Structure formats: C-alpha cells, structure tokens
C-alpha cells in the first residue's frame, strides 16, 4: 500500500511555460511535505517544503500548494527552464515523537523541459 503516490511518471513542457507536478498521499498523519530534485548519477537535493498549517509556500520560481482535504499537493515551476529537467520526488513526514524524522517518498516524476 503506497502511502505517497506520484501518478505521472513523466512530464514534458516547453521552456518558459508552467510545469505542474502532482502528489497524492493516503496517510492522514502526514503533516509535513517536501519536494526533492534529482539529476542523473547524483543524490536528491531539497527543493521546497510545506507544513500542513499552510496551503501555499513560494520560493522564487517554485511554489508548492497543499490541499489537505483532498490529500493532494502540487509543485508549480514558473517559468520552466531546461536546467529544471530532472526527477522530482515528493516526500511526506509525520510529526510524531517516534518518527525520527523519517520521510516516505513517492516514485518520482521525470520532468523534461524542451528549449
């Protein structure tokens, strides 16, 4: 039973347009969400996060939206650039004392931005 799902394995957009990457979760205990970006042959790097007390967090070209009732979050990249081409992982965590900061990851979405 996959608790974090990224239903689109891949996404292709034109440079300058908006990229929207989606993530759904099933565990209602999750209350902190992170997006990581991964280039080939490298480890994931942190991109942006959001707490469940917010519904939006923005950092430059990157915005994450959280819809708690739908258990859905999305990452918007505007404008998209060729250097944004990478695999994007959604991750979710629960703020319980026994959690030890663990995150559950989705399977990733490969974004390709075409010049």
Partner 1 sequence: NAGVTQTPKFQVLKTGQSMTLQCAQDMNHNSMYWYRQDPGMGLRLIYYSASEGTTDKGEVPNGYNVSRLNKREFSLRLESAAPSQTSVYFCASKPTPAVDQPQHFGDGTRLSIL
Stretch that binds partner 1, among 13-21, 40-48, 66-74, 76-84 (CB under 8 A): 40-48
Question: Binding of partner 1 at residue 26 (CB under 8 A)?
Answer: no
Distance of closest approach, residue 40 Cβ to partner 1, in angstroms:
11
Tokens of residue 79, six digits: 């404008």
Rounded CA Rg of the chain: 14
DSSP 79: S
Task: Return the C-alpha torsion angle 23, 21, 84, 77, nearest 10.
Answer: -120
Residues that bind partner 1 (CB under 8 A): 4, 6, 9, 31-32, 34, 36, 41-46, 49, 51, 89, 93-95, 99-103, 105-108
């Amino acid at each position: 039973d996959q608790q974090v799902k990224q239903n689109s394995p891949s996404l292709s957009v034109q440079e300058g347009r908006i990229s929207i990457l989606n993530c759904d979760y099933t565990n209602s205990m999750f209350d902190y969400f992170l997006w990581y970006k991964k280039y080939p042959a490298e480890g994931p790097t942190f991109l942006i996060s959001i707490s469940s007390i917010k519904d939006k967090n923005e950092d430059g070209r990157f915005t994450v939206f959280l819809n708690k009732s739908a258990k859905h979050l999305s990452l918007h990249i505007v404008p998209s650039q060729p250097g944004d081409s990478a695999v994007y992982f959604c991750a979710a965590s629960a703020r319980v004392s026994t959690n030890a900061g663990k995150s559950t990851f989705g399977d990733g979405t490969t974004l390709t931005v075409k010049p």
